Structure 1
């Protein structure tokens, strides 16, 4: 069954999917299947493909579409968002329409680097929305650490007012807790739509962002079941229990967020959990040394002990 189009009601965990490669650097389509199944067993509500942590910039156009089609074919009724950011709007439009035709629920677009001022940012997205047309739901990817483009809340409000196809904010500004609060306060103005907010940064500020009004997470932490369970507890009014659970995983959340090696750690954990066959990244990419692997071993053992003491199952138990 095809998933419905993305809209402002989106909530839960949209996992940023890794892209598996074989040891010789080819796309590992069998591991895409097993990884998709792993994410589904973990309870994710949707998928985000071709994100910055999905090594999208290392894929050819043909490979990108093949990955999208492979996941959509296996994802069932779970919505799939596809990152289509590109320096050229024509290329962005082409890829967006191709993935929507393949069954994607919406696309995610980051501002192109180098935009100047509020008018420059607004004008860029106005061009994007005009190119995509009114029927393509869009996620604004707010990740100034990578784009060097800051999104002021009033500009985001103008875009929400003027372009109904803007249905979600992917929030990764840092520090950015105050921005979540300001967006939610700004939405109280008469006539202003409330859009979905999903948060990233590896889940590093997940609990606080949920407390401030976020609707869930869009990130790729290698224990996605934690993200799902924390969201479910929050949704049922058990915020303290949710934070207690999150705290058990916090050392690994923090460890995975190391610049330059976070993806290597994430892929190694996914390999150990049987989700993919190889932790390889397509060149250029980072790798883990013996000391890195020993540190990871220790952190996982410590997590297993904490989970056991809390009466929860081991994260490396058979899925």
Structure 2
């Protein structure tokens, strides 16, 4: 189910800070047209950290509505409080989503056994599949391969988004989990290497800007056509790095605004619009890639 290019979708906002649902529908339609394999709604790139529960739930509901069953939607439902993560999962369970993406608890630095207890409690509270999300660059806490393997024994925990960018970590995890356990890259710069080593796909920030290319790269890789896949990756690889010259999702939002996909590049505080130098940098990269 969870294979290919899944976009870490931004959440469009007006300058007033309100959610721009017209632009959200534009983005969903864009991804369906361009061949994206799935949407991740209100993950890190969707500003989950600054959306209150009511908005978080409504954005997911609207994303599912706009997708019209043409493309699966995974809902971000992680929190550093297990009770809050379970609450979000329960509220989102009947919205039509295909599953959940649940991040390692941030800030409170849980032990490995604490992570096991946290994710098992979330998985026990739902009938939907759960994808784990390890991104130690943001959460500080790092979920080790042995912990992933223990969690993989839970029938509802079906995969991992690995944003470490560490290919040895991928190899170590693959040795410990079942063959059908889904391994998705969460690091665009190393995603091609991840796919070539047997990864099943990517949850991509770059796919916000070049969804067709990211989908094609994944499709070719899943057919072991790595030479052709690397040619596509070479065309867009500058986006992989330059979309992160300011904290995500500052640059993807600016890029989509410049592409005319959204009415505003506004973000929720404490994130703000990019510096002028950053704007110029990403706009030049977009010209090089052919999307501006």
Q: Does the 8 Å contact 1:181/1:213 carry over to 2? A: no
Number of residue-to-residue matches in the alignment: 288
Task: String of CA shifts for 1:114-145, please: whole Å, max 9, x gaps.
Answer: 34443232222233333x14x12111011111
User: Partners of 2:28 and 2:289 in 1: how far apart?
Assistant: 24
Q: Which residue of 1 aligns with 2:123?
A: 129
| Structure label with greater radius of gyration | 1
> Aligned pair 1:167/2:167, yes or no?
no
Alignment of 1:99-138 (within 5 A): 99-113=92-106, 114-130=108-124, 132-133=125-126, 135-138=127-130
Deviates most, 143-152 or 163-172? 143-152
Q: CA deviation at 1:35?
A: 1.2
C-alpha root-mean-square deviation of aligned residues, in Å? 1.8
Partner secondary structure for residue 85 of structure 2? helix
User: Partners of 2:168 and 2:246 in 1: how far apart?
Assistant: 23
Q: Which residue of 2 aligns with 1:54?
A: 46
Q: Which residue of 1 aligns with 2:226?
A: 239
User: Partners of 1:124 and 1:236 in 2: how far apart?
Assistant: 36
The equivalent position to 1:271 in structure 2, one of 245, 253, 257, is 257
Q: Does the 8 Å contact 1:96/1:107 carry over to 2? A: yes
> Aligned pair 1:291/2:262, yes or no?
no
Unaligned runs of 5+ in 2: none
Task: Report the TM-score when normalising by structure 2.
Answer: 0.92
Q: Which residue of 1 aligns with 2:172?
A: 182
Q: Does the 8 Å contact 1:160/1:193 carry over to 2? A: no
User: Partners of 1:278 and 1:264 in 2: how far apart?
Assistant: 12
> Aligned pair 1:13/2:5, yes or no?
yes
User: Partners of 1:245 and 1:154 in 2: how far apart?
Assistant: 34
Q: CA deviation at 1:185?
A: 2.4
User: Partners of 1:70 and 1:62 in 2: how far apart?
Assistant: 12
The equivalent position to 2:214 in structure 1, one of 213, 222, 227, is 227
Unaligned runs of 5+ in 1: 1-8, 305-314
Q: 1:56 to 1:119 in 2, by over 3 A?
A: closer
> Aligned pair 1:148/2:135, yes or no?
no
Q: Which residue of 1 aligns with 2:57?
A: 65
The equivalent position to 1:37 in structure 2, one of 13, 29, 35, is 29
